[in-house]
Amino acid sequence: MIGNTKKWIGVAGTITVLAGQFLISPAIFAAGGNAIEEGKKIAFDRKKGNCLACHNIINAPSPGNIAPALVAMKARYASKEELRMQIWDATIKNPESAMPPFGKHGILSEADLEKVIEYVWTL
Amino acid sequence: MKQLFRHLTLMVITCGFITAAQATTPEEDLKAFQNFYKKRFPNVEYLDYVNGAYAIDPVGRENWEAIEEFPPYEPFIDEGQAIWEKPFANGKSFKDCFPDGPALGSKYPSWDKEKGMVMTLPLALNNCLEANGEKPMKYKKGPINDILSYIAFESRGQITNVVIPSDDPRALEAYEDGKKFYYTRRGQLNFACAHCHLQNAGMILRTEILSPALGHTTHFPVYRSKWGTVGTLHRRFTGCNKQVRAKPFKAHGEEYRNLEYFLTYMSNGLPMNGPGARK
Amino acid sequence: MQKKSVLISSLLAWMLSSSLATTAVADEVSAEKVKKLIEAADEARKQAASVGGEWRDTSKMIKKAKGLLEKGDFVAAAKLANKAAKQGHLGYEQAMSQKELKMPSYIHYE
């Protein structure tokens, strides 16, 4: 229950969450919307996030199937911070994880990483 | 409390595991390695692993079979034969270094006790050239691929049979070194060879099916459409390391030689079918 | 070493107290600092290489940083040198953390 509550409050604006949940055009919510859109671009970019190499995202072009599909993120992660840790270095949680440590190894810049988290959190 | 118990159990299992892993012989490694694929792909015939990703990818296989009808590596085989037969400046030729003929595939890699190192076929070929006052070939691109194509073609059907002699502990060390290389994470992307070709073999990376490591060495050198030419095993190692954003090692330097020793040993029992063709 | 160069530079600045000379001296100080950063990055790269843990782009970054330094773009050069140094440290740490081979759990020995 606590996790559930946490899930819905604070973190970079409930607006962002709502935009993702009810598919309201993110453009209406300028600040959060931009970060999400930019995050999506980075996530899809083969040289940057390249999430699609391994993860499926609904309606994404030619995704891989190595890792779990990026859906229901808020049910799978108690907080954005927890999701952040997974993207920062997935081997903390699972030493055998094949996921590259996007934050720890500087594969994404801090700024890009934050945007990707904003985007993935909406999935 | 329950959780503590679970942790303890996990620790015990892990510890038991590490000890077991350290104590394994190459024979045990081979069995565990090949069993892994048997379980992962229960419907793939053992001998079909020589066909790489096409053993598990029916769509790709159709394209590949069409390519194999007019093999893109054929001219390389012919060119290689010419090189094999052409005399050196001193009148000798490769035939003098390798009196048993060009079907050398299953003789390499092998442990060279005298030199205390893994001897690979390309190294042996260059040793022959240098011993006869000729310039050695480059290890990744160029004429080496011609002669390797010819040798591979002549060796088709031979069974991979890498030997780790027990009378020289350095041979086992070289094997263990190659094994460690295979399971070690490298580069900014933090992948080991094993992450793609063992743990995730058969999965799809964007649009590519990750090929099983079993059978990886049987079909080299390989014509890759991506390269537009035939390339060597060590060129492929280089490419893999670059893809994970690690600095590649020297072709036929110690790291890759030992890796080849381990990786080829893991395919012991499979027939050789080089040169191959891949995407 | 760094202290010394700062001292010399300050001395120079004091002696030639025209505004033009001050700019030149400031540049010299920056150049010296960035040069040190690049050297440190190369040390880190070599340390990673010594354990087989060098990354693909580290030496390219160092080369590029040197070019930027020559052009007088100290900020970009310093940034890149720091990035390269970080790669060197991470590559070293990556290799050292795997000194002992741990076989993955999905390989089963009988």
Please report the ipTM that was assigned to this predicted complex: 0.86
Final residue before a domain boundary, out of B121, B154, B187: B154
Catalytic residue set of B:
240
- Give Cα A44 to chain centroid, integer Å: 11
User: Do B120 and B169 reside in the same domain of the chain?
Assistant: no
How far apart, in whole angstroms, are the C-alpha atoms of residue B270 and residue A94?
34
User: Do B87 and B126 reside in the same domain of the chain?
Assistant: yes
Q: Does A101 touch chain B (CB under 8 A)?
A: yes
Q: Residues of B with CB below 8 A from A46's CB?
A: 206
B7 within some domain: no
Best A47, A102, A105 residue to mutate vs chain C (most C CBs within 10 Å) = A105
Q: Does C87 touch chain B (CB under 8 A)?
A: yes
C105, A96: Cβ pair inside 8 Å? yes
Query: Looking at chain C, which residue has its C-alpha nearest residue B28?
Result: C109
Q: β-strand B117-119 against B110-112: which pairing, if any?
A: antiparallel
User: Do B167 and B50 reside in the same domain of the chain?
Assistant: yes
How far apart, in whole angstroms, are the C-alpha atoms of residue B243 and residue A3?
39
| Structural domain span for residue B181 | 25-70+160-278
Residues β-bridged to residue B277: B223
Q: Does A107 touch chain B (CB under 8 A)?
A: yes
How far apart, in whole angstroms, are the C-alpha atoms of residue A62 and residue A53?
8
Q: β-strand B204-205 against B208-209: which pairing, if any?
A: antiparallel
Cβ-contact C2, C36 below 8 angstroms: yes
Distance from CA of B203 to the nearest CA of A (A): 5
B173 within some domain: yes
Q: Which CATH number belongs to the domain containing residue B33 in this structure?
A: 1.10.760.10
Q: Is B224 marked within a binding site?
A: no
Using CB atoms, which residue from C90, C104, C105 is nearest to A105?
Answer: C90
| Residue A8 scores a pLDDT above 70 | no
User: Do B140 and B37 reside in the same domain of the chain?
Assistant: no
User: Do B91 and B42 reside in the same domain of the chain?
Assistant: no
The whole model's pTM is what? 0.84
Best A52, A57, A66 residue to mutate vs chain B (most B CBs within 10 Å) = A66
Q: β-strand B276-278 against B110-112: which pairing, if any?
A: unpaired
Query: Looking at chain C, which residue has its C-alpha nearest residue B184?
Result: C98
User: Do B128 and B174 reside in the same domain of the chain?
Assistant: no
Final residue before a domain boundary, out of B124, B154, B184: B154
User: Do B84 and B180 reside in the same domain of the chain?
Assistant: no
Each of the 279 residues of chain B gets a pLDDT tens digit; together they read 455 555 555 554 444 444 444 579 999 999 999 999 999 999 999 999 999 999 999 999 999 999 999 999 999 999 999 999 999 999 999 999 999 999 999 999 999 999 999 999 999 999 999 999 999 999 999 999 999 999 999 999 999 999 999 999 999 999 999 999 999 999 999 999 999 999 999 999 988 899 999 999 999 999 999 999 999 999 999 999 999 999 999 999 999 999 999 999 999 999 999 999 998
Q: Residues of B with CB below 8 A from A101's CB?
A: 190
Buried b (16+ CB within 10 A) or exposed e, B147-163: bbbbbbbbbeebebebe
Q: Is B196 marked within a binding site?
A: yes
Helix (H) or strand (E) holding B111: strand B110-112
Q: Which of C55, C76, C49, C75 is nearest to C64 (CA)?
A: C76
User: Residue B102 phi/psi, 5° resolution?
Assistant: -80, -10
As given in the structure block, the two tokens for residue B71 are 């093999």
Residue in the structure block whose two tokens are 């040793």: B127
Cβ-contact C80, C64 below 8 angstroms: yes
Using CB atoms, which residue from C55, C105, C109 is nearest to B246?
Answer: C55
Best C90, C100, C103 residue to mutate vs chain A (most A CBs within 10 Å) = C90
As given in the structure block, the two tokens for residue C109 are 């020995």
Does CATH place domain A2-121 in 1.10.760.10? yes
Q: Does C46 touch chain A (CB under 8 A)?
A: no
Residues β-bridged to residue B5: none
Q: Is B15 marked within a binding site?
A: no
Q: Which of A45-49, B232-236, C7-11, C28-32 has the highest mean pLDDT?
A: B232-236
Cβ-contact A68, A77 below 8 angstroms: no
B191, A100: Cβ pair inside 8 Å? yes
Helix (H) or strand (E) holding C69: helix C58-71
Domain positions in chain A are 2-121
Residues 6+ apart with CB under 8 A from A113: A84, A87, A88, A102, A103
Residue in the structure block whose two tokens are 């014509």: B223
User: Do B260 and B127 reside in the same domain of the chain?
Assistant: no
**Residues B23-33: tens digit of each pLDDT:** 799 999 999 99
Residues 6+ apart with CB under 8 A from B203: A64, A65, A66, B209, B210
C57, B245: Cβ pair inside 8 Å? yes
Cβ-contact A100, B191 below 8 angstroms: yes
Q: Which of B272, B221, B258, B271 is nearest to B109 (CA)?
A: B258
Final residue before a domain boundary, out of B154, B177, B205: B154
Cβ-contact A42, A111 below 8 angstroms: no
Residues β-bridged to residue B172: none
* pLDDT for the residue B5: 52
Using CB atoms, which residue from C87, C90, C104 is nearest to A96?
Answer: C104
Q: Residues of C with CB below 8 A from B247's CB?
A: 49, 54-56, 58-59
User: Do B84 and B218 reside in the same domain of the chain?
Assistant: no
Percent of chain A with pLDDT over 90: 62
* DSSP-H helix ranges across C72-107: 74-96
User: Do B51 and B167 reside in the same domain of the chain?
Assistant: yes
Tell me the helix, strand and coil percentages in chain B, rounded to 5: 50, 10, 40
As given in the structure block, the two tokens for residue C23 are 């700019």
Q: Residues of A with CB below 8 A from C90's CB?
A: 104-106
* pLDDT for the residue C2: 52
**Residues C31-89: tens digit of each pLDDT:** 999 999 999 999 999 999 999 999 999 999 999 999 999 999 999 999 999 999 999 99
* pLDDT for the residue B1: 47
* pLDDT for the residue A1: 37
Cβ-contact C37, C84 below 8 angstroms: no
Cβ-contact B193, B182 below 8 angstroms: yes
User: Do B108 and B233 reside in the same domain of the chain?
Assistant: no
B130 within some domain: yes
Q: Is B97 marked within a binding site?
A: yes
Residues 6+ apart with CB under 8 A from B8: none
How far apart, in whole angstroms, are the C-alpha atoms of residue B86 and residue B83?
5
Cβ-contact B256, B202 below 8 angstroms: no
Residues 6+ apart with CB under 8 A from B65: none
User: Do B195 and B210 reside in the same domain of the chain?
Assistant: yes
Confidence grade of residue C10 (pLDDT, cut at 50, 70, 90) = low
**Residues A59-100: tens digit of each pLDDT:** 888 889 999 999 999 999 999 999 999 999 999 999 999 999
Calculate the alpha carbon distances from B168 to B72, B85, B111, B179 in Å.
41, 35, 9, 18
Distance from CA of C70 to the nearest CA of A (A): 26
Q: Residues of B with CB below 8 A from A52's CB?
A: 206
Residue in the structure block whose two tokens are 């595991």: B17
How many Cβ pairs within 8 Å bridge chains A and B?
37
Number of domains in chain B: 2
